[in-house]
């Protein structure tokens, strides 16, 4: 194995010291030019929990768009690809040339394959090439890495490359071939030729896989192996594979389960089978390669059900105890609180994100593109001070440079616009954030829209909000993204779920709805309630997923104080949560986005109760009756500690995303 630094995330994740169980998935480019849905679906379903995504190369010799373009588009949306490369269609000139092209475009993982014979595909009259075989292709890659191609110059010396690539090189093997030894002998040759990881052909028989792994050990093969699973969508497909796919054998009980399943349950059964297989073979290998043939949306559920902790692994082993009252399937992300509902804790996710951001920020810095966030503050504000101090600390902890630009409170809008234009033009600045509140002479929307959209780390610029609707966003409003991310982690399969969003603000409600509607065929059914909604409870009571972001209690408290100060007659405000326990559906998942800082109670004079120090006794609560919810719902975010920490991490993630897109 390579002793140099890992060239890809996949290599890093599979490094022996990492000790994670790694999941890879697979997409196939279309027969035609409409690749956007494929990429959007991958982005929706394969961005989390999956380390890398293979892009097939004219799979089964059926003509379609190429692997390289799929890889490039995945890179553009932040997914690490594995370039599949078959030797069927290109000779050594084209293979080596395409390897260089792939490296130039940012591809680092390559899976070398011989490729199905053209006789298996839809152009059986085509001329086959097979100038190299898979072993030869691996050797060619190793050669390229050493700075040479397979040719020779006029003096007979190996040609020198003008810059050598470095790949993480993979190969395939068929563990359940009837005669397995020749497979393992060839695998050993592939490893000797440079293969650093293995993704296997589909395996449905853990016992056969175990004996294969023993043979692998006997042959001294030490590279990480990801067991392949093709998602069996129905019994017909399983039978077809038994009949027509060499080296794949689906046991009869699995076929039986698929044929017994009612049509409506088939997808669930397919996911169950895949997850059980992964769970069974997990102890024998280093990862799983999930080939879902277009059903990308099943991947998160398989990962969750197979009990795979997303890297980096959580300190404590996740309990697999299901939430008894869950109307919907939950992952192990939300932990048993001992109080009834599971708690959706934002801290571990925030930490996981920050670790990942730190690694990527370091990569950018190493390339001379250190992310740099400039916070623009107009006028002094004690509350903002606390906030900017925290921003500075967080940025520093992940290796993002932070600069606070303090501008005078009397600054006119035109001057501020000019300053923002300067920051937009400054190449060293990769992110800009505008601190609220702004003085009255400045219109927040106008100024927000004047920030270079590529540096808008809050995702509030019209261009970024527009991209969000088109599902090709680089960044999205932090709070909304945090809420959706926690939800997806808790419940990977949201397809068709009755989801009610309460609040239709630009920073939460609207972008939450947009984010939830990004999948073509696995989106929840979203209802957005707001101030004009006639019967809020009627909506929330049928919500399998409830996302609340109103901050009504806080607004009432602030309004009450202001009017009292102004000497107006004002009645006692209702500071109780807007969502009462009786408005919740049994077994729902609740994401409480609001952070209300309000008094624990009011005294007889309408003044806030005081704490031991004689100060107003303020508490931080959400929009939902948390205590009441605990005995009713399946899972809920605490406030504080739920969406909040993830929002903070999301700002860093956005900052990194901007820097990456600019780099």
Partner 1 sequence: MIVAERKDIDEILQLLAPYKRVLVLGCGSCVTVCLTGGEKQAEELATLLNLAAKQKNLPLKVEFDCITRQCDREFIANLKGDLAGYDAVLSIACGVGVGFMSEQFPKVAILPGLNTTFYGANTAPGEWKEYCHGCGECVLAWTGGICPIARCSKSLINGTCGGTNDGKCEVKQEMDCAWYLIYKRLQELGRLNELSTFRPARNWSKDRSRGVRRLSHAELAQEPEQEEAHS
φ, ψ (nearest 5 deg) of residue 400: -105, 130
Residue 4 binds to partner 1 (criterion: CB under 8 A):
no
Nearer of residues 189 and 282 to partner 1, judged by Cβ: 189
Nearer of residues 179 and 414 to partner 1, judged by Cβ: 179
Residue 133 binds to partner 1 (criterion: CB under 8 A):
yes
Contacting residue, 139, 230, 326, 483, with partner 1 by CB under 8 A? 139
Per CB under 8 A, the segment of 185-193, 362-370, 372-380, 468-476 that binds partner 1 is 185-193
Contacting residue, 188, 293, 417, 449, with partner 1 by CB under 8 A? 188
Nearer of residues 88 and 489 to partner 1, judged by Cβ: 88
Per CB under 8 A, the segment of 39-47, 116-124, 210-218, 598-606 that binds partner 1 is 116-124
Nearer of residues 100 and 150 to partner 1, judged by Cβ: 150
Helix, strand or coil for residue 159? Answer: strand
- Find all residues with CB under 8 Å of 386, minimum gap 6, and list them: none
Residue 136 binds to partner 1 (criterion: CB under 8 A):
yes
Rounded to a whole number of angstroms, the minimum distance from the CB of residue 201 to partner 1 is: 6
10 Å Cβ neighbour count for 462?
12
- Residue 260, Cβ density class (10 Å: 0-12 exposed, 13-18 middle, ≥19 buried): exposed
- How big is the site for partner 1, counted in residues (CB under 8 A)? 36
Binding to partner 1, residues 361-380 (CB under 8 A): none
How far is it, in rounded angstroms, from Cα 519 to Cα 497?
13
Cα 78 to its chain centre, rounded Å, is 9
Helix, strand or coil for residue 375? Answer: strand
Helix, strand or coil for residue 445? Answer: helix
- Site map for partner 1, 383-412, x if CB under 8 A? ------------------------------
C-alpha atoms less than 13 angstroms from C-alpha of 6 in its C-beta half-sphere = 16
Burial code (b: 16+ CB inside 10 Å, e: under 16) for 556-583 equals bbeebeeeeeeeeeeeebebebbbebeb
Where is 559: in which H helix or E strand? helix 552-565
Contacting residue, 120, 359, 390, 421, with partner 1 by CB under 8 A? 120
Nearer of residues 143 and 388 to partner 1, judged by Cβ: 143
Residue 157 binds to partner 1 (criterion: CB under 8 A):
no
φ, ψ (nearest 5 deg) of residue 267: -65, -40
Residue 135 binds to partner 1 (criterion: CB under 8 A):
yes
Radius of gyration of the chain (CA): 28
Residue 62 binds to partner 1 (criterion: CB under 8 A):
no
Percentages helix, strand, coil for the chain, rounded to the nearest 5? 40, 15, 40
Nearer of residues 1 and 392 to partner 1, judged by Cβ: 1
Looking only at Cα atoms, what is the longest distance across the chain?
A: 99
Rounded to a whole number of angstroms, the minimum distance from the CB of residue 40 to partner 1 is: 31
Contacting residue, 3, 4, 17, 178, with partner 1 by CB under 8 A? 178
Q: List, in sequence order, every residue forming a beta bridge with 619; answer none if it has no partner.
A: 598
Rounded to a whole number of angstroms, the minimum distance from the CB of residue 229 to partner 1 is: 16
How far is it, in rounded angstroms, from Cα 544 to Cα 497?
6
How far is it, in rounded angstroms, from Cα 115 to Cα 128?
10
- Find all residues with CB under 8 Å of 244, minimum gap 6, and list them: none
Residue 180 binds to partner 1 (criterion: CB under 8 A):
no
Contacting residue, 6, 36, 69, 92, with partner 1 by CB under 8 A? 92
Helix, strand or coil for residue 549? Answer: coil
Handedness of CA 587, 591, 595, 596 (dihedral sign): negative
Among candidate residues 582, 346, 373, 585, the one with its CA nearest the CA of residue 485: 346
Nearer of residues 244 and 571 to partner 1, judged by Cβ: 244
Contacting residue, 14, 22, 140, 529, with partner 1 by CB under 8 A? 140
Nearer of residues 179 and 324 to partner 1, judged by Cβ: 179
- Find all residues with CB under 8 Å of 445, minimum gap 6, and list them: none
Rounded to a whole number of angstroms, the minimum distance from the CB of residue 188 to partner 1 is: 7
Residue 153 binds to partner 1 (criterion: CB under 8 A):
no
Nearer of residues 183 and 267 to partner 1, judged by Cβ: 183
Q: 206: left (phi > 0), else alpha (psi -120 to 50), else beta?
A: alpha
Per CB under 8 A, the segment of 177-185, 446-454, 540-548, 564-572 that binds partner 1 is 177-185
Binding to partner 1, residues 238-267 (CB under 8 A): 246-247
Rounded to a whole number of angstroms, the minimum distance from the CB of residue 29 to partner 1 is: 21
Residue 158 binds to partner 1 (criterion: CB under 8 A):
no
Nearer of residues 249 and 596 to partner 1, judged by Cβ: 249
Per CB under 8 A, the segment of 186-194, 473-481, 613-621, 645-653 that binds partner 1 is 186-194
Contacting residue, 128, 207, 418, 436, with partner 1 by CB under 8 A? 128
How far is it, in rounded angstroms, from Cα 16 to Cα 569?
70
Helix, strand or coil for residue 99? Answer: helix
∠ Cα 304 307 310 (to 5°): 70
Residue 131 binds to partner 1 (criterion: CB under 8 A):
yes
Binding to partner 1, residues 199-228 (CB under 8 A): 201
Nearer of residues 93 and 663 to partner 1, judged by Cβ: 93
- Residue 124, Cβ density class (10 Å: 0-12 exposed, 13-18 middle, ≥19 buried): exposed
Rounded to a whole number of angstroms, the minimum distance from the CB of residue 246 to partner 1 is: 4
Contacting residue, 132, 258, 261, 271, with partner 1 by CB under 8 A? 132
Rounded to a whole number of angstroms, the minimum distance from the CB of residue 119 to partner 1 is: 4
Residue 94 binds to partner 1 (criterion: CB under 8 A):
no
Residue 196 binds to partner 1 (criterion: CB under 8 A):
no
Query: Helix 252-260 and helix 266-281: axis angle, to 10°?
Result: 150
Query: What's the length of the chain?
Result: 663
How far is it, in rounded angstroms, from Cα 493 to Cα 462?
30
Residue 181 binds to partner 1 (criterion: CB under 8 A):
yes
Per CB under 8 A, the segment of 170-178, 208-216, 493-501, 628-636 that binds partner 1 is 170-178
Rounded to a whole number of angstroms, the minimum distance from the CB of residue 134 to partner 1 is: 8
φ, ψ (nearest 5 deg) of residue 255: -60, -40
How far is it, in rounded angstroms, from Cα 438 to Cα 444?
7
Helix, strand or coil for residue 338? Answer: strand
Nearer of residues 176 and 486 to partner 1, judged by Cβ: 176
Per CB under 8 A, the segment of 182-190, 518-526, 556-564, 588-596 that binds partner 1 is 182-190
Helix, strand or coil for residue 120? Answer: helix
Token pair belonging to 591? 């994401």
Contacting residue, 47, 166, 186, 600, with partner 1 by CB under 8 A? 186
Nearer of residues 93 and 366 to partner 1, judged by Cβ: 93
- Contacts to partner 1 by CB under 8 A: 88, 92, 114, 116-117, 119-120, 128, 130-136, 139-140, 150, 172-174, 177-179, 181-183, 185-186, 188-189, 192-193, 201, 246-247
């Amino acid at each position: 194995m390579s002793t140099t630094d890992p060239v890809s995330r996949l290599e890093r994740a599979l490094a022996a010291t990492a000790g994670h169980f790694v999941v890879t998935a697979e997409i196939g480019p279309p027969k035609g030019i409409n690749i956007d849905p494929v990429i959007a679906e991958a982005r929706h379903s394969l961005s989390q929990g999956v380390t890398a995504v293979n892009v097939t190369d004219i799979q089964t010799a059926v003509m379609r768009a190429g692997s390289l373009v799929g890889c490039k588009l995945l890179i553009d949306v932040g997914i690490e690809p594995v370039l599949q490369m078959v030797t069927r269609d290109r000779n050594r000139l084209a293979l080596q040339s395409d390897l260089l092209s792939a490296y130039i475009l940012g591809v680092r993982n390559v899976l070398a394959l011989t490729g199905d014979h053209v006789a298996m595909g839809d152009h059986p009259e085509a001329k086959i090439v097979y100038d190299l075989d898979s072993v030869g292709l691996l050797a060619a890659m190793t050669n390229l890495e050493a700075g040479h191609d397979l040719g020779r110059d006029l003096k007979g010396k190996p040609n020198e490359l003008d810059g050598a690539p470095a790949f993480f090189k993979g190969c395939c093997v068929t563990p359940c071939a009837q005669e397995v030894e020749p497979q393992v002998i060839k695998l050993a040759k592939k490893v000797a030729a440079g293969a650093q990881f293995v993704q296997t052909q589909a395996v449905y028989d853990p016992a056969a896989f175990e004996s294969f792994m023993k043979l692998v050990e006997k042959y001294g093969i030490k590279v990480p192996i990801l067991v392949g699973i093709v998602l069996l969508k129905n019994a017909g497909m399983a039978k077809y594979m038994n009949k027509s796919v060499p080296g794949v054998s689906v046991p009869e009980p699995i076929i039986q389960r698929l044929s017994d399943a009612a049509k409506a349950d088939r997808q669930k059964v397919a996911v169950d089978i895949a997850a059980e297989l992964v769970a069974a073979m997990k102890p024998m290998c280093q990862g799983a390669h999930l080939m879902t043939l277009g059903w990308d949306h099943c991947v998160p559920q398989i990962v969750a059900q197979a009990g795979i902790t997303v890297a980096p692994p959580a300190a404590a082993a996740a309990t697999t105890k299901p939430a008894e009252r869950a109307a919907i399937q939950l992952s192990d992300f939300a932990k048993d609180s001992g109080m009834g509902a599971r708690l959706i804790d934002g801290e571990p996710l925030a930490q996981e994100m920050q670790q990942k951001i730190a690694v990527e920020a370091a990569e950018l810095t190493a390339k001379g593109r250190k992310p740099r966030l400039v916070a623009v503050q107009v006028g002094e504000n004690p509350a903002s001070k606390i906030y900017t101090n925290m921003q500075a600390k967080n940025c520093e902890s992940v290796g993002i440079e932070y600069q606070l630009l303090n501008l005078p409170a009397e600054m006119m809008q035109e001057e501020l616009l000019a300053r923002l234009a300067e920051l937009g033009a400054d190449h060293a600045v990769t992110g800009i954030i505008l601190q609220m509140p702004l003085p009255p002479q400045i219109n927040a929307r106008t100024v927000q829209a004047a920030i270079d959209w590529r540096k808008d780390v809050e995702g509030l610029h019209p261009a970024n909000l527009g991209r969000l609707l088109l599902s090709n966003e680089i960044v999205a409003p932090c709070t909304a993204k945090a809420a959706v991310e926690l939800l997806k982690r808790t419940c990977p399969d949201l397809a068709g779920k009755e989801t009610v969003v309460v609040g239709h603000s630009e920073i939460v409600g609207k972008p939450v709805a947009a984010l939830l509607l990004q999948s073509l065929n696995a989106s929840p059914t979203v209802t957005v309630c707001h101030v004009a909604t006639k019967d809020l409870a009627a909506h929330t009571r049928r919500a399998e997923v409830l996302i609340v972001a109103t901050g009504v209690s806080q607004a009432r408290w602030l309004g009450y104080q202001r009017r009292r100060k102004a000497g107006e007659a004002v009645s006692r405000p209702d500071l109780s949560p807007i969502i009462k326990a009786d408005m919740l559906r049994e077994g729902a998942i609740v994401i409480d986005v609001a952070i209300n800082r309000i008094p624990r109670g009011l005294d007889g004079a309408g003044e806030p109760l005081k704490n031991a120090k004689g100060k107003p006794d303020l508490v931080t609560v959400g929009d939902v009756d948390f205590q009441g919810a605990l005995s009713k719902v399946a899972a809920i975010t605490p406030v504080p500690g739920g969406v909040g920490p993830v929002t903070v991490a999301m700002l860093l993630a956005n900052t990194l995303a901007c820097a990456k897109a600019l780099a």
